């Protein structure tokens, strides 16, 4: 029966006491798919699994048009030559993902600051606007203080109309419309109380 040829101090590629070779640390680099790596001391240390691949977002027609707008702005400012501009526009219309579009406009002022940092601002939908009637409602409501309540009814009408439009369109300004409504109704209530007091005073005087 032959004895193992392993001796202390032999290299890692030499056979171990059980007849199996020691694993080579070089085969366990950080990019290895194995969940463990070999430390320099020969001790196996846990390593995190690689993150899952992120599915790229498919580009819409609006995304392509926004990218082309950025390219046109860069061309108009003299940042792109005509030939390069034409090539980028053609690639933008042929792009399949938002990431491809981001690469085309990454070096332009209106393009993304860096690739892989979320959806570029150039491809985001425009922010919702504030409803004009909501602004009018809060202005009329605030003017009731200086107009003696004359703008109270317009504040109420504009406030109700603005809230109905906001529910349909998703615009901003619901808080403004509600504020105008409250101020308008307070003004209307004040005028109603004033009229009631006048009627009561008139009845008392005539009685």
Give the other-Cβ count within 10 Å of 59's Cβ: 21
pLDDT digits (tens, 9 = 90+) for 161-193: 999 998 888 788 899 999 999 999 998 888 888
Stretch 140-163: mean pLDDT: 89
The full set of domain ranges for the chain reads 61-123, 132-206
Q: Are 171 and 186 in contact (CB under 8 A)?
A: no
What does the pLDDT read at residue 204?
82
pLDDT over threshold 70, residue 144? yes
pLDDT digits (tens, 9 = 90+) for 42-74: 555 555 544 444 457 888 888 888 888 889 888
What does the pLDDT read at residue 135?
92
Mean pLDDT of the chain: 74
Please state the pTM of the whole predicted model: 0.41
What does the pLDDT read at residue 33?
45
Half-sphere exposure in the Cβ direction for 99 (13 Å, CA)? 8
What does the pLDDT read at residue 124?
56
SS3 percent helix, strand, coil of the chain, rounded to 5, is: 55, 5, 40
Among candidates 75, 54, 70, 79, which has minimal Cα distance to 102? 70
Query: What are the beta bridge partners of residue 45?
Result: 37
pLDDT digits (tens, 9 = 90+) for 2-31: 454 444 444 444 444 445 444 444 444 444
- Collapsed DSSP state (helix, strand, coil) of residue 30: coil
């Amino acid at each position: 029966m032959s004895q193992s040829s392993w001796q202390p101090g032999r290299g890692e590629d030499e056979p171990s006491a059980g007849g199996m070779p020691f694993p080579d640390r070089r085969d366990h680099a950080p990019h290895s798919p194995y969940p463990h790596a070999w430390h320099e001391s020969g001790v196996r240390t846990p390593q995190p699994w690689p993150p899952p691949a992120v599915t790229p977002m498919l580009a819409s027609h609006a995304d392509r048009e926004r990218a082309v707008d950025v390219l046109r702005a860069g061309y108009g400012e003299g940042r792109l030559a005509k030939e390069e501009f034409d090539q980028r526009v053609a690639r933008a219309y042929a792009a399949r993902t938002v990431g491809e579009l981001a690469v085309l406009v990454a070096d332009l002022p209106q393009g993304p600051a860096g690739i892989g940092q979320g959806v570029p601002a150039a491809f985001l939908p425009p922010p919702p606007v504030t409803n004009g009637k909501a602004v009018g409602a809060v202005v009329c409501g605030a003017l009731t203080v200086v107009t003696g309540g004359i703008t109270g009814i317009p504040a109420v009408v504009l406030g109700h109309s603005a809230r109905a439009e906001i529910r349909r369109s998703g615009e901003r300004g619901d808080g403004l419309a509600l504020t105008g409504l409250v101020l308008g109704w307070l003004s209307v209530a004040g005028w109603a109380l004033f009229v009631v007091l006048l009627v009561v005073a008139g009845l008392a005087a005539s009685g």
